[in-house]
Structure 1
Amino acid sequence: MQAITTYFNFMGNTEEAMNFYKSVFGGEITACTRFSDLPGNEKMPAHEQNKIMHMALTTKSGNILMATDFLESMEHQLHLGNNIHLVINADSEQEVEQLFEVLSAGGKVEAPVNKTFFGALFGMCEDRFGIKWMLNYTYPQNN
């Protein structure tokens, strides 16, 4: 396992929150993708297209905080317990599959493990203790 990082969910104020965390912890925003950057974005409501699909802050100590905006059009609702996920960046597809199977046993699968448009094998689940997990293996890039 490479690392476990923190992934926050916000209701439309991800950019504000992440800039606040940057002012607190230092570092730099190392990734920012808006929903308008995604394939099929023309089907989204105009007022949601500028929302944040994914943002990452690498703090000056090297920790990574990531975040997204929940979308009203997808009927997302923010409440205590779904505002944070722990992300496991695995070393292999096999590790993602094994960890996902163990963590989701007795819990709930939120997104089954699948290959994604962003070049990763990815799945989301909630374990039997109510902790939410994202499991990710990023495929090597061919240069």
Structure 2
Amino acid sequence: MEAYLSFNGNAAEALAFYAKSLGGKILFSMTFGESPMGKDTPDSHKKKIMHATLEARGKQIMASDLPPGMAFDGYKGFSLSVQAKDVKEGEQLFKTLSEGGKVTMPYAATFWSPGFGMLEDKFGVPWMVNVDQPQS
């Protein structure tokens, strides 16, 4: 399974941020204006993302801006989770993803992990950063 995020007109900015934060790259991106429906797309949406795919850390996230006339209601009921290989990498991921956003649980050791934290990034997307317990 892969996550598909809908943005309120800032999908290109969000995907560029995720590519930088997670060491990934945008594999595909098409605007509404570039699509077969481009000529029928309102000018306000021609440069908005109709569909894009980001690959990072061996996973993919797909995204788009909402089409004209669809209301953005924020993000509820889920978190994107990223696994770090160790505490230091987890700390860096947490710091980078939370830049301009809101920390909802500070990054720290827990009973299940030597490093875990929760945040909402500057686009309002909820994230969890986790480090697995070392194998004994």
Q: What TM-score comes out, normalization by structure 2 length?
A: 0.52
1:78 corresponds in structure 2 to: 72
RMSD: 2.2
Structure 1 spans left out of the alignment, 5+ residues: 85-143
Structure 2 counterpart SS, 1:12: coil
1:28 corresponds in structure 2 to: 25
Deviation at 1:52? 0.3
1:10 corresponds in structure 2 to: 7
Structure 2 spans left out of the alignment, 5+ residues: 79-136
Deviation at 1:81? 5.0
Deviation at 1:80? 3.7
Structure 1 counterpart SS, 2:33: helix
Deviation at 1:50? 0.9
Deviation at 1:83? 9.6
User: Do the aligned partners of residues 5 and 80 (structure 1) sit closer, same or farther apart at CA in structure 2, a change above 3 Å counting?
Assistant: same
- Asked if the contact 1:18–1:57 (Cα under 8 Å) also holds between the matched residues in 2, the reply is yes
Deviation at 1:82? 7.2
| Amino acid aligned to 2:70 | H
- Asked if the contact 2:18–2:24 (Cα under 8 Å) also holds between the matched residues in 1, the reply is no
- Asked if the contact 2:8–2:72 (Cα under 8 Å) also holds between the matched residues in 1, the reply is yes
Amino-acid identity (%): 29
1:56 corresponds in structure 2 to: 53
- Asked if the contact 1:9–1:83 (Cα under 8 Å) also holds between the matched residues in 2, the reply is no
Does 2:64 correspond to 1:68?
yes
Distance between the aligned counterparts of 1:42 and 1:82, measured in 2? 34
| Amino acid aligned to 1:45 | P
Deviation at 1:40? 2.7
Which ranges of 4 or more aligned residues in structure 1 deviate by more than 3 Å?
80-84
Q: Which has the larger radius of gyration?
A: 2
User: Do the aligned partners of residues 5 and 81 (structure 1) sit closer, same or farther apart at CA in structure 2, a change above 3 Å counting?
Assistant: same
